A and B are shown apart, each in its own frame.
Chain A
Amino acid sequence: MNVGHKKLLREHFGIKAKSDQYIIALAGNPNVGKSTVFNALTGLRQHTGNWPGKTVDNAQGSFSYQNIDFLMVDLPGTYSILTNTVEEEIARDFICFAIPDVTIVVLDATSLERNLNIALQVMEITPKVIVCVNLMDEAQKNRIVLDLPGLEKELGVPVIGTSARQGIGLDKLKEVLYLAVKEQMSFHPRQLQYSQEVEKAIEQLLPKIEQFGLSEYLNPRWLALRLLDSDQMLTRKVCAYLSANSEGDIYKEVSMAL
C-alpha cells in the first residue's frame, strides 16, 4: 500500500499525523486502566473529541521516545471486536483500515481469560501487537501470580507487565514500542485454533477469498471467519477502503455498504 493511500485512510479516521510519526492504537476491555496507560504515556499532549461522524469519544495523544515520535490513538474500550456495536466497529475498522504501526492491547492481570479474548481477536487482524498486562499491582494484592515470559511464548508477541497507576513498566513499554517500529523485534502472533467444523468451513471459503487478491492487506482466514459469522458489510467495506482514491470515495462506498 502506498504512503498516500495510507495517509488518506488514516485521515478518514480523523488522524492527522506528521509524516515521521508512528501511529499506535490502544485497544482493550473497559475497566482495565486503558486510559491510565494512555494518560501516563501522553501526559498533557492530548486531543479529545469524537470519531468522525460518530458520537463516540476519541482521544489522541503524542509522545516521543529516543527521538522517535508516536501518535497514540485510544480506541473505545470493548469486550470484543466482532462489531456488534458502534464502539466495536470503530475499534475493528481502525485496526483493519487505518493500519496502525503497532497496536497495544491492554489486559487486566486479574481477569486474564476474558481479556485474552480481545487480544487474540486483534492478533488475528494485525501481527504487530504488543500485549500490556496492566494492573499487576492488583494481581499481586489478590495473590495472583502470572508467568509473563510464558505468556509471551504462548502469544508470540511481546508481553509487558505494567501498573500504570504507579507508572511501573511504562518505560519498558516505550522501549519495546521503539524496537517494534524500528523493526528490531519479531512478531509471530499465535493463530487461533478453531474446532474442526469451523476449520472446514474456512477451507471451503478460502479459495474464493483468495481470488479477491488482498492477502497483502488482510488475513484471508480472518476475512473468511467474519463472512461465516454473517458480517455482510465487511466485503464492501474492504473494497471501499482499499480502492478509494479520495475521501469522497470512502464515504460513497462506505455509505453504500450500510
Chain B
Amino acid sequence: MIRSTGDAFLHELNKDAETLRLSYGNSLGDKIIADIYKNAEQITKNVILIDNNKKNWTLKLDNYLTSKVFGYPFMLLVLGIILWITISGANIPSDILASALFGLQEVVSRGFLSLGAPAWLHGVLVLGVFNSVAWVVSVMLPPMAIFFPLFTLLEDLGYLPRVAFNLDNLFKKAKTCGKQSLTMCMGFGCNAAGVVACRIIDSPRERLIAILTNNFVPCNGRFPILIAIGTIFGVGALASQLQALAVTGIITGVIMIGVFVTFAVSWFLSRSVLKGEASSMVLELPPYRRPKIVSVVYRSIIDRTIFVLKRAVIVAAPAGGIIWIVANTYIGEISILNHLAGWLNPFAQTIGMDGYILLAFILGLPANEIVFPILIMSYISSGTMIELESLAELQMLFINHGWTWLTAANVMLFTLLHWPCGTTLITTRKETGSKKWTLAAFIIPTTVAFTVCFILTQTVRLLGLA
C-alpha cells in the first residue's frame, strides 16, 4: 500500500515541502523549536508553585573547583589521590589472586602430567595460555576494580564536566575538545576504555584525534613498569621516607610528558591529516549530586572492569601460547626467543635498549601487563613468565644485563609512548570502523616512541653522559 506510492510521489512531496519552506524564508525550523519552547514555558508557568531554585551548594563548590586559584591544583590532587589509592590498594589483592591462580596452575599441571599429556601440549596450554591469562587477570583485575569505581564515583558526583570546563581552553589551542580530557582520565584506568569513552566527543574529527592519542596516557597495565623502574633507578639511594615522594615526582613527570605529547600530536594532527578548526563545544555543568556508592561500584565493575578484562583475556590467551612456543622451541642450541632478541639487538641499541627489552615489548603487544614477566623470563633464560620476589633482585638482574640510567629512562619513555596494546587496537577498530585509522593508532605512537628514544640516546651518547 505504501510501496505503491512510489519514488515519484516521494520526490514530489519533498519538493513541495522544500518550496513551502523556502517561501517562508527558510525559517520554519527556528519557529518550530521556538514554538515548542513556548508551549513548555506556558506549562511550566502553570505547574511551578514555588521556585527558589538557586542550587546554592553547586554554586559554592564551583566557586572553588573551577576557580583560577584552586581549579587546576584540585584536579591534580584528585588525579593523584585516585592513582595512589589504585596502585597501593591493588598490591595485596593482586598478590592473593596471583598465588591463587598460580596455585591452580600447579594443580592443572599435575593433572596434565598424570594424564600423560605430551610435554609440548602441557607447555602451550598450561605454561603458555594459562600462565599468561593468570598474569593478566591477577595484575589487571585489582587495579581496574579499584580505579573504575573511583572514576565512576567522580562521574556520578558531577565533577567530570568541571574537568572538561577547566581544561577546554588548552584543548582548544590544539583545535580539539575539552571533553578529550575525560577520555584521557579514563585512559589511566585502561586505554581501551578510554577509546570507548571518546564517544562523548561530538565532532568526528576531534573524536578521532582523541582516540589516536589516548595511548599517551599510561594505563594501569603500564604503571607497575614505570613505578618499578622509577624506584630502582630514580631513587634507589634515597632514604625510604623520601623514596615514595621521589617516585611520585618521577611518575608525575612521566604523566606530564604523556600529556605534553598528547597535546603536541593532537596539534599536529589538527594541522595535517585531520585538518580542521576546533568545532564548537556545548557543555552542561549539572548540579553536584551525592552518588549512590553501591550502584556505582556495581555498574563500574559490570560495565567497565569486566568488559575490559574479557577483551584482555581473549587477546592474552593465544598470545601466551605463542610466547611459550617462542621461548621453548630451539633452532640449533638457541631458542627462537634468543634468536629474535639477537636479531633485534643492533636496532634496539640505537634507542638505548637491548634486543630482549624490545622483544618483550613486541611480545607484550596483547597486554602491557606481561611485558615485565617476559623480560625477566628471557633474562634468566626460563621457559615461562615469572616475576621476581623483590626490587633488589630485579635491580641486580637489570644491572647484570648492562642497564644504565639511560636504559631505564628509555624503557620508561618507551613504555609511555609505544604502540597501544592489542585490546586497545581491537577496540579502536570497533570504534572507528576503519582499518586505516587502527593502523594509524599503531603507527603514530610507535613512531613517536622510537623517535624520542633515539634522539635521547644519541644526544646523551654524543655528550658522553652515559
Q: Do A and B come from one complex?
A: yes
A188 to chain B, nearest CB (A): 15
Which one of B32, B33, B44, B302 contacts A112 once the chains associate, using CB atoms below 8 Å?
Answer: B44
Tell whether A150 pairs with B36 under 8 Å between CB atoms, given A57-B199, A144-B51, A144-B52. no
Tell whether A228 pairs with B52 under 8 Å between CB atoms, given A150-B47, A194-B35. no
- CB closest residue in chain A, given B282: A79
Q: Mark A48-59, 1 if CB is under 8 A from B, else 0.
A: 100000011100
Once the chains are docked, how many angstroms separate the CA of A58 from the CA of B381?
Answer: 48
Residues of chain A with a CB closer than 8 A to B46's CB: 147, 150, 154
Once the chains are docked, how many angstroms separate the CA of A224 from the CA of B23?
Answer: 15
Which one of B43, B50, B433 contacts A116 once the chains associate, using CB atoms below 8 Å?
Answer: B43
Q: Which of A139-164 contact B (CB under 8 A)?
A: 142-148, 150-151, 154-155
A194 touches B49 (CB 8 A): no
Once the chains are docked, how many angstroms separate the CA of A46 from the CA of B306?
Answer: 14
A39 touches B295 (CB 8 A): yes
B39 touches A120 (CB 8 A): yes
A235 touches B50 (CB 8 A): no
A201 touches B24 (CB 8 A): yes
B192 to chain A, nearest CB (A): 14
A228 touches B28 (CB 8 A): yes
A192 touches B35 (CB 8 A): yes
B14 touches A112 (CB 8 A): no
B439 to chain A, nearest CB (A): 19
B306 to chain A, nearest CB (A): 10
B43 touches A151 (CB 8 A): yes
B284 touches A205 (CB 8 A): no
B20 touches A142 (CB 8 A): no
Does any Cβ of A come within 8 Å of B60's Cβ?
A: no
Q: Mark B1-25, 1 if CB is under 8 A from A, else 0.
A: 1110100011011101110110010
A31 to chain B, nearest CB (A): 4
B2 touches A212 (CB 8 A): yes
A99 to chain B, nearest CB (A): 15
Question: 26 A-B residue contacts at CB 8 Å?
Answer: A46-B302, A110-B53, A113-B37, A113-B41, A116-B44, A117-B36, A117-B40, A120-B39, A121-B36, A143-B51, A145-B48, A146-B49, A147-B46, A154-B43, A192-B36, A193-B35, A205-B16, A205-B20, A208-B12, A208-B13, A209-B13, A211-B9, A224-B17, A228-B17, A229-B32, A235-B13
Once the chains are docked, how many angstroms separate the CA of A232 from the CA of B284?
Answer: 30
Does any Cβ of A come within 8 Å of B202's Cβ?
A: yes
Interface residues of A, Cβ cutoff 8 Å to B: 30-31, 36, 39, 46, 48, 55-57, 80, 82, 85, 110, 112-114, 116-117, 120-121, 138, 142-148, 150-151, 154-155, 165, 190, 192-195, 197-198, 201, 204-205, 208-209, 211-214, 224-225, 227-230, 232, 235-236, 238-239, 242-243
A227 touches B50 (CB 8 A): no
Once the chains are docked, how many angstroms separate the CA of A198 from the CA of B34?
Answer: 11
B102 to chain A, nearest CB (A): 32
Does any Cβ of A come within 8 Å of B95's Cβ?
A: no
